[in-house]
Amino acid sequence: MKSSRYAKSGDLSIAYQVAGDGPIDLIVVPGIVSHVEAFHELPGYSRFIERLASFARVITFDKRGTGLSDRVVDAPSYEQRMDDVLAVMNAAGSERAALFGISEGGPLGALFAATFPGRTTALITFGAFARVAWAPDYPIGIERKTLDQMAGEFEDSWGTGASLGLFSASRAHDTEAQSLWARMERLAVSPAGIRSLLRILGDIDVRCVLQSVAVPTLVLHAEGDVFPLEISRYVAEHIPGARWAELKGVDHYPWFGSVDPVVDEIEEFLTGVRPQPEVDRVLATLLFTDIVDSTTRAAEMGDRRWRELLERHHAVVRRQLQRFRGREIDTAGDGFLATFDGPARAVRCAAAIRDAMAGIGLAIRAGLHTGECELIGSSVAGIAVHLAARVAAIAASGEVLVSSTVRDLVAGSGLSFVDRGVHVLKGVPGEWRLFAAAL
């Protein structure tokens, strides 16, 4: 993590960091809260900055009143916040920069681009808006009473991580991420401070300046974002020549989800070149796990109790993955995909997960295969992945089912197996002999 520096904006100190040395300066204008240091502890954030820094000099900062920047008594105006952006640019030696406004940073970025076109090379927004609150001439907005209710709820629960679901729907039930987010909340701003900032949110309206934005503009929005697509599309429709891109995902802050699609769009927009994914091939053992009869159990228990049980399930799986040096690749609903550099550890990990589930009243099935995989970013692909998934799909409750490849590679490890016969796996060529681990 880069060390933080301070820029003087009037009498205040504004914290900022610089990453990378690319030919393009890119100022990340944060959302309603940020913390240039604590954000690096959040899932995906450091990789997000590293990807941006691969083609740009990335400058991140905390707006006045939040993070490591000086606290203020009164809610800051947009004029003051533009002064802060200028102060950070000057301190970092940036004559002209592209602005990347995330959420509430979007309208600030648009206002800055229209006011200081000589200092702005481009404008990019993600999950942003020109106005949030409903108005007679803005029916796509959110009712003021809903915004006021949200402000009260945020103040009451601030510091507990309860707001994570708003910023990252995909991590809403991730207990580890919630704990990290709770710490970030406490470091970023006080409960009274967040209520004050949310009141400002309802007053933001930069619709009148959109037509004056004369720099190239890219408007990005995740299809499942907490803010409606129409709010972001409005920005694209009212900035002359703006480019609109709707991305898959549900997260309001882009680094919580899949980083590469977001950064790929930004890199292509700023450089004219869309990066080709780096593909490495490696031999790995793939483990798929799945809760047996999860749909029935969820219906019986109700949403809240099932969610709590699912969180315990996730915690158990992650403890065992750490114990056996597994790497979590994906979590989809009630299933996990993980990779291992040793098949014996993978089999023992699967059995340990199965046994630990008995303590929380769940049964799982597991499937394993060892094969060559393509490593694309933080994900894996290839026929080996499909094969492991098919093996898991036909495993019985409580069974750790492996391909013959896994069985052959663990010879001498002390593991024993029961022959489950030859199977045709859907979408996978040939016939495969499968074995159940006897442990």
Q: Assess whether the region 5-271 and the region 279-437 belong to the same CATH fold.
A: no
The per-residue pLDDT for 367 is 96
Condensed to tens digits (0 to 9), the pLDDT of residues 28-43 reads 999 998 999 999 999 8
Residue 45 has pLDDT above 60, yes or no: yes
Distances (CA, A) of 64 to 6, 140, 257: 12, 30, 27
The per-residue pLDDT for 304 is 86
Out of 12-21, 63-72, 252-261, 370-379, least confident range:
370-379
The per-residue pLDDT for 123 is 98
Query: Domain 5-271's class?
Result: alpha beta
Contact in structure between 350 and 356 (CB atoms under 8 Å): no
| Nearest Cα to Cα of residue 39 among 251, 253, 314, 324 | 253
β-bridge partners, 366: 289, 400
**Please, how many CA atoms are within 13 Å of residue 169, restricted to the half-sphere of its CB?**
11
Every domain of the chain and the residues it spans: 5-271, 279-437
Averaged pLDDT of the chain: 92
The per-residue pLDDT for 1 is 54
Residue 317 has pLDDT above 90, yes or no: yes
The per-residue pLDDT for 2 is 67
In the chain, what percentage of residues exceed pLDDT 70?
Answer: 98
Rank 55-59, 172-176, 177-181, 311-315 by mean pLDDT and report only the highest: 55-59
Q: Can you say whether the dihedral through the CA atoms of 377, 382, 384, 386 is positive or negative?
A: positive
CATH of 279-437, one of 3.40.50.620, 3.90.960.10, 3.90.1640.10, 3.30.70.1230: 3.30.70.1230
Q: Is beta strand 217-222 parallel, antiparallel or unpaired with respect to 120-126?
A: parallel
330: confidence class by pLDDT, cuts 50, 70, 90: confident
Say whether pTM exceeds 0.85.
no
